[in-house]
Structure 1
Amino acid sequence: MNTRHKLLTTLTALEQSLLQAEVRANALALDQLIDESFVEFGSSGRMFRKSEILCRPPNLPLLEFVPADFKLRELIPGLAQMSFHLRTVNPVSGEISNSLRNSIWRRSGHHWKLVFQQGLPMAA
């Protein structure tokens, strides 16, 4: 497996883990994945910092996330951008939303940490 493919596989797995209910509800797991300087601009238009992510309650009802079409762009060694489409389903209301997600990941020692994420609403 070449280096680029290995990095894409690693960061895709990290992105997918952040969408899992068990991880989203676990402040320790989130703390290990998210950098201290983290900022998110959500598809709702709201801005979040790491401290807000760690103390917010899990989404109720639990939303279903369906990611697709992961793309990697290595900006410089140790800094990478991931983009993907995300379909979010509310299993209670049946409401579906789609967004384009962009994330910046930075290598910290032997681990990657999320430093930035932006969600842009998309038409279905």
Structure 2
Amino acid sequence: MRGTRQAEALNEVLADLPEFRSAQDIHGELRRRGQRIGLATVYRHLQVLSQDGAVDTLRDESGETLYRRCRTSTHHHHVTCRSCGHSVEVEGPAIERWAERVATEAGFTDIDHTMEVFGLCPDCTGQRA
């Protein structure tokens, strides 16, 4: 997929989107830019980018998967505003320890996890930090 016209167009859109967006939103932006790429192709490319660690994913409160260009190569989590979608990357050493302990107690190895935290950002609550 890398090096194709579709992959390059998708990478350009992801570079321009500051917040998490659904595959449908990303597909719509590609169409607005004149790119003729099918939604299934967008999903496939996003899946590969996610597996490679180039794209962050999270599930919103309705369960829909959202995507954003990854801004760091280290393992991290996100705190996302329910109102405007603004997201901040955060490290969570306590979460890492908890996930490892829970998995070990259940007899699991080679674990992975995701953690999504939602709230209202300072701009949406009128309490600028």
Q: TM-score, normalised by structure 1?
A: 0.27
More strand by share: 1
Whose relative contact order is higher, 1 or 2, with alpha carbons under 8 Å and at least 6 apart?
Answer: 1
Structure showing greater radius of gyration is 2
More helix by share: 2
Q: TM-score, normalised by structure 2?
A: 0.26
